Amino acid sequence: TPLGPASSLPQSFLLKCLEQVRKIQADGADLQERLCTTHKLCHPEELVLLGHSLGIPQASLSSCSSQTLQLTGCLRQLHGGLFLFQGLLQALAGISPELAPTLDILQLDVTDFATNIWLQMEDLGVAPAVQPTQGPMPTFTSAFQRRAGGVLVASKLQSFLELAYRVLRYLAEP
Amino acid sequence: QCGHISLSAPIVRLGDPITASCIISQNCSHLDSESHIVWKLEAELQPGERQQYLPNGTLQSTITLPHLNRSRALLSCCLHWGNSLQILDQAELQAGYPPATPHNLSCLMNLTTNSLTCQWEPGPNNHLSTNFTLKSFRSRGNCQSQEDSIPDCVPEDGQSHCSIPRKHLQLYQNMGIWVQAKNALGTSVSPKLCLVPMDVVKLEPPTLWALGPSPELAPPQPGCLRLRWETWKPSLHIDQKCELRHQPRLGEASWDLVGALPSRTLQYELCRLRPSTAYALQMRCTRWRLPGHWSNWSPSLELTTTQR
Is B93 in contact with B67 (CB distance < 8 Å)? no
Q: Judge whether B81 and B29 are in contact, CB under 8 Å.
A: no
pLDDT of residue A5 exceeding 60: no
**CB spacing of A26 vs B198 below 8 angstroms:** no
B237 vs A108: CB contact, 8 Å cut-off?
no
| pLDDT at position A4 | 52
CB contacts of B200 in chain A (<8 Å) are none
* Predicted local distance difference test score (pLDDT) of residue A7: 59
- Terminal-to-terminal C-alpha distance of chain A: 24
CA atoms within 13 A on the CB side of B218: 4
Instruction: Give the per-residue pLDDT at A89.
Output: 97
Candidates B167, B171, B196, B198: best to mutate against A (most CBs of A within 10 A) is B171
Q: Say what the pLDDT of residue B29 is.
A: 58
If chain B, 308 residues long, is cut into consecutive pieces of 10 residues, what is the mean pLDDT of each piece? 90 97 80 80 91 88 95 93 86 97 97 96 96 95 88 95 97 97 98 97 95 79 90 95 95 90 88 92 96 96 87
Give the pLDDT of residue B28. 73
pLDDT value at A1 more than 60: no
CA distance A23 to chain B (A): 5
Report the C-alpha gap between A171 and A5 in whole angstroms.
Answer: 9
Nearest to B172 among A11, A16, A26 (CB): A16
Span A107-135, pLDDT tens digits: 999 999 999 999 999 999 999 998 888 88
- The mean pLDDT value for A40-48 works out to 94
Determine whether the interchain pair B238/A19 forms a contact, defined as Cβ–Cβ distance below 8 Å: yes
**pTM of this structure:** 0.88
First to last CA, chain B: 96
User: In this complex, do B170 and A115 lie within 8 Å of one another by their Cβ atoms?
Assistant: yes
